[in-house]
Structure 1
Amino acid sequence: MRCGYYDAGLCRSCTWLPTPYAAQVEAKQRHAADLLAAWPDLTWLPPVTGPEEGFRNKAKMVVAGTVDEPTLGILDATGHGTDLRECGLHEPVLHDALPALAAFVTRARLTPYHVPTRTGELKHVLATVSPDRELMVRFVLRSTESLARIRKHLPSLRADLPHLRVVSANLQPRHAAVLEGEHEEPLLGDSLAFRVDGITLHLRPQSFFQTNTAVAAALYREGAAWVDDADPTSVWDLYCGVGGFALHLARPGRDVVGVEVSAQAVEAARLSAEEAGVTARFEEADATTWMTARPAAPDLVVVNPPRRGIGPELAAWLERSAVRHVLYSSCNPTTLARDLAAMPSLTPVRARVFDMFPQTAHQEVLVLASR
């Protein structure tokens, strides 16, 4: 992949861009294997890869510049904007939508937030594209000052982007390096249909989904195959998000429960289960609190935590429980290795690297541990 922004020194987010892609994948595999070297009998399957460019289903663009000449991209060291509308990582639909979003900033007179002076309203534009090429757009604002203008000009944005299905405004009033706030103001639609392997997931504006749709689908398929090999009758999916793993694992005669702290995500997962006709149930709760309060353990537990991992309390509960298998999907091999070490009765037996994030050092690692 070639990038004019990188060559010009304007953006270095893709830290591994000068490294040939095959060498990137090899390095990620080696890094994960080194961190899990304490289990020499662990079977490593070949890494799963996708396109090395045009793969991102999300565009997280900092808005800067002026109303008449906004930039969508990142901030430089002085807090001023660098426009990255031609970024080669975005899926084509996102790439093609960014000029219309920039034009909308001007049309609706949305003043870009100026970090050095702490003035302005519009901080970020967040856009997501589904496998069916439909769009969700979120405007991250400092206040409600511009909401009326966004609503007024929304028909023109829909005319420019015929596949636009969801629009919302997120309120983030703090001057802080925080992407979004807690309050979301719906402006159009409520969820984006995300079809993955025949299952329709529903992404609400604040829901999480992997940024690489093709590799995420492969991750769910692999997880489902490993779980089917283990043949559990009961499964808990912790940190389940909108239900990606839980819905792929649901089978007749198998009791599946997903647990997620986000009310939006749980509501979306329940809708997906109802539409798919599967028996998975979903609970709104903190994963550790919910699990450690259960009187009995299931046959298999899926964990897909944030970068900090599952932590000592949950790992200790799993270690002393009767759980026979743990399927661990990790975006941080360092905390993965730490958590596995805290569960010595559960031996990692199978692992695979999924390259969700080409051109960077980040990776997803799937591990099956069995008692």
Structure 2
Amino acid sequence: MQCDYFDAGVCRSCTRMGEPYDAQLADKDRRVREIVGDRPALAWSAPFGSPESHFRAKAKMVVGGTPNAPTLGILDADGHGVDLRACGLLGPATTASMPVLARFITDTGLRPYDVPARTGELKNIHVLESAGGELMVRFVLRSEGQVGRLRRSLPALFDALPGLRVVSVNLLPRHVALPEGEEEILLTEETTLPMTIGDVTLHPMPGAFVQTNSVVASGLYRQAAEWIDECDPRSVLDLYCGVGGFALHAARTGRAVHGVEVSTEAVASARRSAAEMGLDARFEVGDATAWAASLPTPPDLVVVNPPRRGIRARLASWLEDSGVGAVVYSSCNPVTLAADLDRMPSLRPVRARLFDMFPQSDHAEVLVLLRRDAH
């Protein structure tokens, strides 16, 4: 893939930009296998590749510049906006929305936040797109002062973006380098963006975690479902379940599935999907580790999809001692994955596969199947 921004030196976020994709994928697969380590029973499948470009279903663009000349992209070392609206990683609907959103900023007079001066209102714009080209747009503001202006201007934005379905404002009042704050204000009657990923339709709300690459996420969920079917558990517990991607796929064959997630909004989304599909999947709000530790009887199989820090010692210890027959572990950090595997010697890794969620980078998503050692 060729990128003018990278070639000009204005953005170096893609550390592998310009390398042939086949070489990227092979090197990433080799590196991940080295990090996970030599484990006698482990068989690796061929890596699951991605489209090289236009694969991002979500984009978090920092807004800079001025109302008449806004930038959508990142900030430079001095805190000034760098425009990346033609970034080749953005999905097609997101790419088409960028000039429309820039004009919307100008037309509404929204003042981009100036980081060095600590003035202005509009900090970021987040865009989420479905495979069908529908959009969710989220404006991250410093205060509520411009919410009324946004509400009044929404008809024009809907006219300019026919695929637009959900619009919200997120409030980030502090002067911090974060993509979003804690308070969300919905500006539309529709609250979720239906996204068909793999064999299910998810319903993320603004701010919900959704895998960045829908093509690869589909492969990830289907692979996990295949391994779960091979284990044929009667009961499945999905920890860190998010909006339900793994749990809903596991439930499609009729088995009882229980998902646990700290986000109330994500759980509401997962429940909606389960109800629409008529699946025997229940979702609860709670801490993954505490919930697992409170169970009187362990499930047959556990799915874990933790953040980069991994599942850590307490949950790994519970899995090791619980008698759970199998674990499907989806990891976005091979280093913490390897440490967690070492904490569970009775659960042997038997299958693993790299899923290239972020081409042009060193990021690696790895799926591992662990089965309890009968000896």
Q: Provide TM-score, normalisation by structure 2.
A: 0.98
How far 1:357 moved relative to its partner? 0.1
Q: Distance in 2 between matches of 1:207 and 1:227?
A: 25
Q: Distance in 2 between matches of 1:242 and 1:62?
A: 25
1:150-202 deviation line (CA, Å, top 9, x unaligned): 01111000000011000000001111111101110000120000112342110
1:243-298 deviation line (CA, Å, top 9, x unaligned): 00000000455220000000000000000000001010001001011111111110
Aligned to 2:267: 266
1:79-121 deviation line (CA, Å, top 9, x unaligned): 0011001100011111011000011111111110000011110
Q: 3-state DSSP class of the match of 2:203?
A: strand
Q: Partner letter of residue 143 of structure 1?
A: S
1:208-287 paired onto structure 2 within 5 Å: 208-251=209-252, 254-287=255-288
1:94-133 paired onto structure 2 within 5 Å: 94-133=94-133
Deviates more, 1:32-41 or 1:56-65: 32-41
1:14-55 deviation line (CA, Å, top 9, x unaligned): 011132111111111111111122303310000001201010
Q: Distance in 1 between matches of 2:198 and 2:239?
A: 21
Q: Distance in 2 between matches of 1:253 and 1:317?
A: 27
1:212-269 deviation line (CA, Å, top 9, x unaligned): 0000000000000000000000100000000000000004552200000000000000
Aligned to 1:151: 151
Q: Distance in 1 between matches of 2:138 and 2:67?
A: 18
Q: Partner letter of residue 303 of structure 1?
A: V
Q: 3-state DSSP class of the match of 1:117?
A: coil
Q: 3-state DSSP class of the match of 1:78?
A: coil
Q: Distance in 1 between matches of 2:72 and 2:242?
A: 28
Q: Distance in 2 between matches of 1:15 and 1:174?
A: 30
Q: Partner letter of residue 116 of structure 2?
A: P
Uncovered stretches (5+) of structure 1, i.e. residues with no partner:
none
CA contact (8 A) 2:213 2:358 kept: yes
Aligned to 2:355: 354
The alignment status of 1:74 with 2:85, answered yes or no, reads no
Aligned to 2:180: 180
CA contact (8 A) 1:239 1:260 kept: yes
1:307-363 deviation line (CA, Å, top 9, x unaligned): 000011000000111101010000000000000100000000000000000000001
Q: 3-state DSSP class of the match of 1:146?
A: helix
How far 1:59 moved relative to its partner? 1.5
CA contact (8 A) 2:61 2:124 kept: yes
CA contact (8 A) 1:258 1:281 kept: yes
Q: Distance in 2 between matches of 1:355 and 1:40?
A: 24
CA contact (8 A) 2:247 2:258 kept: yes
CA contact (8 A) 1:349 1:367 kept: yes
Aligned to 1:134: 134
Q: Distance in 1 between matches of 2:352 and 2:225?
A: 14
Question: What number of residue pairs does the alignment pair up?
Answer: 371
Aligned to 1:63: 63
Q: Distance in 2 between matches of 1:191 and 1:348?
A: 37
Aligned to 1:332: 333
Q: Partner letter of residue 61 of structure 1?
A: M
Q: 3-state DSSP class of the match of 1:245?
A: helix
Aligned to 1:2: 2
Deviates more, 1:245-254 or 1:262-271: 245-254
CA contact (8 A) 1:109 1:149 kept: no
Q: Partner letter of residue 21 of structure 1?
A: Y
Uncovered stretches (5+) of structure 2, i.e. residues with no partner:
none
Q: 3-state DSSP class of the match of 1:353?
A: strand
After the TM superposition, which parts of structure 1 deviate over 4 Å for at least 4 consecutive aligned residues? none
Q: Partner letter of residue 199 of structure 1?
A: V
Q: Distance in 1 between matches of 2:17 and 2:253?
A: 45
